[in-house]
Structures are given as C-alpha cells and as structure tokens.
C-alpha cells in the first residue's frame, strides 16, 4: 500500500476494460500477522490464505495505525495477487494488500462486508 491518494484527487485517465482485467484482485483470509520492526515505515508481515488455486502468500502492510496485530488473524482482505514480488528488507512481499486512507491518512483495509470464499476474484 504505497499509493495514498487524497479524496480530492480527480479520477485517473480512462482505461480499457481489458486493462482492468489484467489486475487480479482476490480475497484472502489473514492466517498469521507478525511485527515487522525492520521496515522503514511501521508495518506488519502478513500470511494470507487465498484458497487452493493460489495458496498462502505473504504481504507487508502499513496498517499499524488502525489495527492491532492480534485482531488481524481471521479477517478477510483484498489483495492484488499478480504483481511481481517486492523485496522489503529481508522480507519478500508477494501480494499487495489493498486499503484506503482515512481522514488522517491511516490505512483502512479493503474487505467484503460478508464472507466470501478465499480466492474469489474482484470483478
């Protein structure tokens, strides 16, 4: 989550529907959350279960301002699963956990309002 846009930012340039389909956004359930003291910005290291087809993937998420580590396990979140992995210190972040900035700029996780199967794709 490195692209924090203010709510008064205009919409991005138009894209084709096929461009949207290239971004694979899936639902997963957080199965493990650890502190990430070596990260430059405060973050957690997450393990997220995206179901049988994708499996468990790791993510670094800068969500410490609004979430305690022990309330994350069992929570469903949305993530981009088809970006190349990013090395963050000694940690390899394999998916981009998605969120929105609140009024103070802290990240609020993007999640379904009802449970859906892990691996479900956004459309």
Q: Please report, in tens digits, the pLDDT of each residue of the chain (123 residues total).
A: 445 567 788 999 999 999 999 999 999 999 999 999 988 999 999 999 999 999 999 999 999 999 999 999 999 999 999 999 999 989 999 999 999 999 999 999 999 999 999 999 999
H/E segment holding residue 26? strand 25-35
- Each domain of the chain, given as residue ranges in start order, spans 22-109
* Whether this model's pTM surpasses 0.75: yes
Contact criterion met (CB below 8 Å) for 74 and 29:
yes
Q: Give me the pLDDT at residue 5, please.
A: 64
CATH class of 22-109: mainly beta
Exposed, middle or buried by CB within 10 Å (0-12, 13-18, 19+), for 80? middle
Pairing of strands 25-35, 44-49: antiparallel
21 phi, psi to nearest 5 deg: -65, -20
Structure tokens at 123: 């459309």
Pairing of strands 91-93, 86-88: antiparallel
């Amino acid at each position: 989550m490195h692209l924090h846009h203010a709510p008064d930012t205009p919409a991005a340039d138009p894209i084709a529907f096929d461009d949207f389909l290239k971004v694979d956004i899936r639902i997963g359930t957080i199965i493990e959350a650890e502190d990430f003291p070596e990260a430059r910005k405060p973050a957690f290291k997450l393990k997220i279960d995206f179901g049988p087809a994708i499996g468990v993937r790791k993510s670094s998420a800068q969500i410490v301002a609004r979430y305690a580590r022990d309330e994350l396990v069992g929570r469903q979140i949305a993530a981009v699963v088809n970006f190349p992995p990013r090395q963050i210190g000694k940690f390899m972040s394999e998916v981009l956990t998605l969120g929105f900035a609140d009024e103070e700029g802290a990240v609020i996780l993007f999640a379904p309002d009802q449970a859906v199967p892990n691996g479900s794709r956004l459309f």
